[in-house]
Structure 1
């Protein structure tokens, strides 16, 4: 994981962590779901959106590939 920064209009900067290298831009959206994050991360409808999860334990129980909506994450 590497340091990341989310710049929001109005010059606000949020520090974060990421596994994806490089730069990107998109609409910042969120989900309050506490299950189904595999589907959300691989759902093509989230393409060009920055998906934020509000549930603090996302990823603690692993990832099940059979729950993927597609074969890749849509940045």
Structure 2
């Protein structure tokens, strides 16, 4: 799991299990905030055979992430 911190949010690589495999995702949570993170699928349309492969792909996408907006949307 890769992590990237911004001024008000933290983003981490994540995996979403799905039919036929796993999807790469980025989970976002407010720094110091309580509650569940919001998950954003990345590399839409791609499914990975293992959770490890999906997490590696998500970690690579995380390096491209520029910031997180107030509503937790990703800013590329």
TM-score bucket of the superposed structures, by smaller chain: under 0.3
Relative to total residues, which structure has the larger strand share, 1 or 2?
Answer: 2
TM-score, normalization by structure 1:
0.28
Q: Which has the larger radius of gyration?
A: 1
